[in-house]
Structure formats: structure tokens, C-alpha cells
Chains A and B, each alone.
Chain A
Amino acid sequence: MIRDHEERVVWYSDPKLWVELFVLVNLAFLTLDIYIAHSINQFRRSAEYVPFYFSLCAPAVLAVGLAAEHKWHHSTVWRDLGYLVGWSAVAVGVAGVVFHLDSRFFYERTLKSLTYAAPFAAPLAYSGLGLLLIMNRMVDSKTLEWGQWVLLLALAGFFGNFVLSLTDHASNGFFRSAEWIPVISSAVAIGFLIVPLLMPVTSKFLQLCAAVLGLQVVVGVLGFCFHAEANLRGPSVYIWDNLVNGAPPMAPLLFVNLVLLAVIGLWVIHKRTSKEFI
């Protein structure tokens, strides 16, 4: 594939495309995730359908943009559709946070209520994906800065994982000690991924970061198995009820998901630091 006049880029080595696909797949998965999450609330408010329908439509719009860019070489179509979806996602995320402020935590503001509060930070996943789309259009993917932005957003995701796994498992009283694994694992991920953003690092440190990310994949898959097992032996005779009210089945896969994003960031940082710093 010819990307521009100066450089020939094969599609699989184009980080910009991978980020675009990452956002598309994530928005599509969020359709199912939101459906399960808001089913707990039985979609009591009509606004709860907004992220559901947005997640349903946005991937299709992005797919059209990608086709326009890569098949018909209409970069402006790709750019404008991306901005549309990106800014809309930011808006959906911010509005979601405002709606989630209605939760118990904001009545009582205690650690106890924080544990059971509607995850007020969760809608920021939309804002994060939106910012990725916008950044992908505003920053040159061949620069170190692009890689650092991607890593920063992945880092924010791991921070979200840290808070959510801590509060979600706290609501379970850390009944099984294995529930501490994602808390510790995401804390380690944050500790390592923040360093390339703060200071120049060596390629060996980036390899260490990659190893830490490998650990996150194991934790994510293990968590998915634990959650599935808990839901299969849940109190209800209906699996759906156990899925909705029990351990969130998709949540641990967020670790694997964020690893993909962080790897893209580290990949570009590694390429650029090799040229610029090391």
C-alpha cells in the first residue's frame, strides 16, 4: 500500500491503521458490554440507550472511513468521519460521567459507598477511544509524540483497571485472595508504563515493559476464566441473570485489550527512540 509520496508502508506495519482498528473493535465490543451493564439498571432511564446505540453505529461509520481511506484513497472522508465519531465519543463519555454522578457515592462520599457506586469513571472509556481517534488525525504517526500519546491513553486505561478491579473486588470483600491479582498486576503495569512518558528509556527497559504487558495478558485470561466459572455456578438458574448481576464477564479482557494498545505505543516509541535517543 502506498501511504504517501515519500514512504511506502505495508498495511500491517502501519500503527495508525492498528489504532483505528483498535478503536473500531473496542466500540463494537462496548455494545455488548453496555447492554449487560445497563441491564443491571434495566435501562431505567432512556439516556442509558445512548451509548448502546452509539456503540452499535460508530464502528460502521469508522469502517466506512477506513474503506474510503485505504480502498478509495479519500483521506478527507476518513478524517472527517473519524472526527465525527471521535468528538461524539468524547461527548458520550463526558455525559456518561455526569449521569453516573447520580450514584450512591455522590450522596455519601465514603469509601464504602465508592465500592458500590455506579462506576462513574467507566464512561470515560468512550472519551479515551474518542481521543485516540482525534489524536490519530492530529498527530503524525511517524513521531515519538504519537507513540507517547498512545501509551498515555493505554496507561489511563490501566489506571481505570486498577480502580475498577479494586472497587469491584472490594464489593466482593476480596473473598478470594485471587481477587487481589488484577489490582497488583495493574499497579505494576502503571508503574512501568508511566516511565517512558517521564524520561528517555533504553530498549531494554521497553522490553521489560513488554514482559510486564505479557503478565497482563495472563491476568486478563485468568480473570475471564474465574469470572466465567463464578457465573456458571451463580445463584440464579438463568445464566443471563448471573452474567448481568454477577462477575462482569468482559471486564478482565480489558487487560488484554489495553495490552494491544500499549504494545502499539511501545512499538512506535521503540522505533523512534532507537532513532532519536539511543
Chain B
Amino acid sequence: MSFRSVFIAVVIAFGLIVAGFLINRARPRVETEQPTEALVRASGKCAECHVRQQYSVVHEYEMSVHAQKSINCLDCHQPAQNQKGQEHHGFVIVTKLTAGNCRSCHEGIYQEFVRSRHAAVSWAAVYGEQGLKPEQVAFSEQYQPGGVKGRAPHPFVTLEGVSAMTSGCDQCHSIGRPNDDGTIGTCTACHSRHTASVELARLPTTCAQCHMGPDHSQIEIYEESKHGVMFHAQESLLNLKVAPKQLTTKDMFVPTCATCHMSGINGLKVTHDPSERLSWFLAAPISQKRPNYAQTQTAMKQVCTQCHTTPLIDRVYAQAEKVVETTNSRVQQAQEIVTSLQKSGTLTGKPFTHPIDFVYFDLWHYDGRTSKHGAFMGGADFVQWHGNYPMLQKMVQLRSMAEELRKQPRGRAAQSGAGQ
């Protein structure tokens, strides 16, 4: 046997083996460094089909921090506790994810979220206690007293019907939907699904999906405020991708909604419960201080001090609280008019069956809220022309309507209202 033949055989074999090792070494970590065989196979195997069926889903995932940290498709899509999996081409998965899937890695964040008004309270604002388990109601009441317990579904559920609720209210209020697996809500409302993005959650437009319009016009107020104007002017200079615990005012020297209400800027505590920094129940017809008023106001003022001096912050708060006080007093007057009509039997029947019901509702629900939010968020026009002015107008309307009703024979108001 000649050495030449053996040498050629060994060199070719060795070359091929080395090539094999090099190719494997060049592969992404997310696909090789996984704890189980199924997880190893998942990302690429899923992508092979889904890149052709839903390209954006795979593309978004590949750009996400999840992909960079070797979190693959199956990590999120495997059945979490109390979820029923389904067989899918050799994998057992769930297709509809809930906060239950995210909490398997982000338990602390879920606990903050579930204590917030984004959770059960948000759902109860539309459907009351319906669908929530007693233990979920009890849990929510510990942190948001009166937010869920004893709350009836909103009258609009019946008056406007299922389709209006499904395509309307549900789209925002399902952030607190009770899930079949016993968890509440979904993280993807703010972070998106396959992007799982912190950057996205920091954008004002993300919050604006729900916090917009005449009843909660936070985004419109923000856009008018200096914060909003500067954000749009300098957005390209901000670094919205920084990890929550590392975020500083160098990265976000202009705040968005998340900066003030949730972010841990310059070492402050990150929270997924915006209530931790809110001192008033501004959404209520007549606003009350929250039970932990001093603590939450201090927390928010601490965020403000990252950019502003204390005298300025105190002045803004003092002025805003004056607006709350005035608005409360106006709503109180309006409420008394309606209550007196009801007590005297002049206004009878179910809610929202007479024009005066809508005038009163719009007064506190649109104008009252807008003036209060505008005062805290630097939206001058919303305090005045979208808040106090329409409140004044509706008070005149309300008094006039009440006078008219009192002139009518008893009970007629309800009948004429029902007729309309």
C-alpha cells in the first residue's frame, strides 16, 4: 500500500471534518446554546415554515432582544402553567399567549402589572366583576380598593351591544382580561408580540393606542406640552433601547409617558404599576386623593427632579391641585342638579335614556377629566378650551334642561327621554 494514497485519504477526510466544525461554530447562539433538544430545534425549524407564511413575525423576532438573549420561539410558545398545549409539527405549543407565558421569566414585572389599574380594574371598568375569579377580585382590592368589587358592567355594555364592546372597548380594556390559565392580561398590548420591545413601550404612540380621545386625552395633552413638542423635535437623538435598569437622562433627556410613569431613570425603581406614581384618582367624576397620596406624589416628584428644580415641580403640582379642586366643585354642582331631579322623581328611568344624562356624563367624563389631566401634564389648552370652557357651557345647558324638566308633569321626563 502506498503512503500517498493513505495521505490523500486522511487529508481529505480531515479537511471535511474541520469544515463541518467551522460551519457549526458560525451558527447563531440562539440555535445552539439551549437547555433542551426541542428548544434547539425550535427557532430555525419554526422559522423555516413561518418565514414564508408570516415573514414579519420571524423578522421581528430575529431583531428582538429575545433573539439576542437566546430566547427562541418555543420558550414563549410552550404551554405555561394551566395552559393546554396542542401538537404542532413535532412541537407541543400554545398559539394564544397570555401574561402567563411572559411571567415564567418576568414574574416580578407581572406582579407589578397585576397590582396596577391596567389589570383587573381596567377589565372591570367595562364588564365589572364578570369573568374575574373571586381570588382575583380579592387580590385587586388589596391594591386598588373599590376598583373591581361590587362593580357592575358599564351601562353601555347593554345599551351599545356586543359588537361595540368587542371591536371598541375590549381593544383597550382587554389589557386586563382574565385569562383561562388564571392569569390576567397581556404584556403584548404595550410590548408587541414578536418584537417584545422596550423601545416600543417607551413611545408615546404606544400609550396613545388607548389613552386618547375626549374621555382620556392624555396623548393630545402630551402633544401640546413642551415634553411632546421636544420629543418630536429630538426623537432621533434619544436612545429608547436602553435596558430599563440602565436608563439615564442622557438616553432620554426628553420624557415620554413611560419615562415619568414607569421608567427607572437614573437608578430610580422601574415599575409596571403606574399607580405607584399617581396621587389622585383623576378619572373619577369627583377626584379623591389616592390612599398613599404622599408616597406616590413623592415618587413622581422624584422623577420630575431628574430634570426640573423643586420649586418648579411644587408650583406645577400646586396649580394642578387647584384645578382638581375647581373641577371637583363644578362636577359636584352638576351632580347635585341631576341627583335632585332623580330624588324629586322628575328624572326617572334607566341611565342614559334622557338627553340630560349625556350632558352630565360628558361634563365630567370628557371635560372634567380633560381639565384635570391637562393641568398635571402641561396642556394649557386642554385645561381651558377643552376642559373648563365646555364645563361652563354644559353647566348652563344642564341648569336650563333641569328647569325645563321641572316644568313638565312628573314622570314625563323619563318617558320623553326613553322615546328619544
Is the beta-carbon distance between B4 and A172 smaller than 8 angstroms?
no
A112-B31, A171-B41, A202-B1 are known contacts. Are A236 and B16 too (CB-CB below 8 A)?
no
Confirm or deny: A187 has a beta carbon within 8 angstroms of a beta carbon on chain B.
yes
**What 0/1 readout, one digit per residue, does chain B (102-141) give for beta carbons within 8 Å of chain A?**
0000000000000000000000000000000000000000
In the assembled complex, the Cα of A246 lies from the Cα of B33 at a distance in Å of 20
Chain A: which residue is nearest B39 at the CB level? Answer: A173
A116-B48, A172-B40, A198-B8 are known contacts. Are A205 and B27 too (CB-CB below 8 A)?
no
In the assembled complex, the Cα of A201 lies from the Cα of B28 at a distance in Å of 43
Which of the candidate stretches B83-91, B227-235, B308-316 sits at the interface with the other chain?
B83-91
Chain B: which residue is nearest A186 at the CB level? Answer: B16
Chain B: which residue is nearest A212 at the CB level? Answer: B9
Nearest-CB distance from B26 to chain A (Å)?
Answer: 5
Is the beta-carbon distance between B2 and A202 smaller than 8 angstroms?
yes
- B26 proximity list for chain A (CB < 8 A): 111
Is the beta-carbon distance between A172 and B51 smaller than 8 angstroms?
no
Is the beta-carbon distance between B1 and A204 smaller than 8 angstroms?
yes
- A104 proximity list for chain B (CB < 8 A): 47-48, 51-52
Nearest-CB distance from A161 to chain B (Å)?
Answer: 11
Nearest-CB distance from B98 to chain A (Å)?
Answer: 22
Confirm or deny: B245 has a beta carbon within 8 angstroms of a beta carbon on chain A.
no
Name A205's contact: one of B6, B23, B41 (CB within 8 Å). Answer: B6
**What 0/1 readout, one digit per residue, does chain A (230-257) give for beta carbons within 8 Å of chain B?**
0000111110011011100000000000
In the assembled complex, the Cα of A123 lies from the Cα of B45 at a distance in Å of 21
Is the beta-carbon distance between A191 and B10 smaller than 8 angstroms?
yes
Is the beta-carbon distance between B12 and A194 smaller than 8 angstroms?
yes
A170-B23, A174-B24 are known contacts. Are A235 and B92 too (CB-CB below 8 A)?
yes
Confirm or deny: A183 has a beta carbon within 8 angstroms of a beta carbon on chain B.
yes
- B212 proximity list for chain A (CB < 8 A): none
- B14 proximity list for chain A (CB < 8 A): 187, 191
Is the beta-carbon distance between B20 and A187 smaller than 8 angstroms?
yes
Name A173's contact: one of B9, B31, B87, B92 (CB within 8 Å). Answer: B31
In the assembled complex, the Cα of A172 lies from the Cα of B45 at a distance in Å of 9
User: Which size bracket describes the interface of B in this complex?
Assistant: 35 or more
Nearest-CB distance from A188 to chain B (Å)?
Answer: 4
A173-B31, A174-B32, A236-B87 are known contacts. Are A195 and B41 too (CB-CB below 8 A)?
no
Q: Which residues of A contact B (CB under 8 A)?
A: 40, 103-104, 107, 111-112, 115-118, 162, 166, 170-176, 180, 183-184, 187-188, 190-192, 194-195, 198-199, 201-202, 204-205, 208, 234-238, 241-242, 244-246
In the assembled complex, the Cα of A241 lies from the Cα of B87 at a distance in Å of 9
A104-B52, A170-B27, A242-B90 are known contacts. Are A184 and B17 too (CB-CB below 8 A)?
yes
Nearest-CB distance from A263 to chain B (Å)?
Answer: 17
A184-B17, A202-B1 are known contacts. Are A116 and B45 too (CB-CB below 8 A)?
yes
Which residues 72-96 in B have Cβ within 8 Å of A in the complex? 87, 89-92
Nearest-CB distance from B11 to chain A (Å)?
Answer: 7
A183-B20, A205-B1 are known contacts. Are A171 and B12 too (CB-CB below 8 A)?
no
Confirm or deny: B37 has a beta carbon within 8 angstroms of a beta carbon on chain A.
yes
In the assembled complex, the Cα of A194 lies from the Cα of B28 at a distance in Å of 33
Chain A: which residue is nearest B10 at the CB level? Answer: A191
In the assembled complex, the Cα of A172 lies from the Cα of B37 at a distance in Å of 7
Nearest-CB distance from B327 to chain A (Å)?
Answer: 58
- B91 proximity list for chain A (CB < 8 A): 235, 245
- A238 proximity list for chain B (CB < 8 A): 87
Is the beta-carbon distance between A162 and B16 smaller than 8 angstroms?
yes
Main secondary structure of the interface of A (DSSP, over half): helix
Chain A: which residue is nearest B33 at the CB level? Answer: A173
Confirm or deny: B5 has a beta carbon within 8 angstroms of a beta carbon on chain A.
yes
- A118 proximity list for chain B (CB < 8 A): 48
Confirm or deny: B13 has a beta carbon within 8 angstroms of a beta carbon on chain A.
yes
Is the beta-carbon distance between B9 and A235 smaller than 8 angstroms?
no
Nearest-CB distance from A194 to chain B (Å)?
Answer: 6
Name A195's contact: one of B9, B16, B20, B87 (CB within 8 Å). Answer: B9
- B4 proximity list for chain A (CB < 8 A): 199
Is the beta-carbon distance between B23 and A191 smaller than 8 angstroms?
no
- B27 proximity list for chain A (CB < 8 A): 111-112, 115, 170, 173
Is the beta-carbon distance between B28 and A40 smaller than 8 angstroms?
no
Is the beta-carbon distance between B37 and A195 smaller than 8 angstroms?
no
In the assembled complex, the Cα of A192 lies from the Cα of B5 at a distance in Å of 8
Is the beta-carbon distance between B10 and A235 smaller than 8 angstroms?
no
Is the beta-carbon distance between B5 and A205 smaller than 8 angstroms?
yes
In the assembled complex, the Cα of A236 lies from the Cα of B52 at a distance in Å of 24
Given contacts A170-B27, A205-B1, A246-B90, 18 further A-B contacts (CB under 8 A): A104-B47, A104-B52, A107-B51, A111-B26, A111-B27, A112-B28, A166-B20, A173-B37, A176-B37, A188-B13, A191-B9, A191-B10, A205-B6, A235-B87, A241-B89, A241-B90, A245-B89, A245-B91
Chain B: which residue is nearest A41 at the CB level? Answer: B49
Is the beta-carbon distance between A236 and B90 smaller than 8 angstroms?
yes
Nearest-CB distance from A223 to chain B (Å)?
Answer: 16
Confirm or deny: B38 has a beta carbon within 8 angstroms of a beta carbon on chain A.
yes
- B44 proximity list for chain A (CB < 8 A): 112, 115-116, 171
In the assembled complex, the Cα of A21 lies from the Cα of B29 at a distance in Å of 46
- Most chain B Cβ neighbours within 10 Å, of A171, A173, A175: A173
- A187 proximity list for chain B (CB < 8 A): 12-14, 16-17, 20
Chain B: which residue is nearest A187 at the CB level? Answer: B16
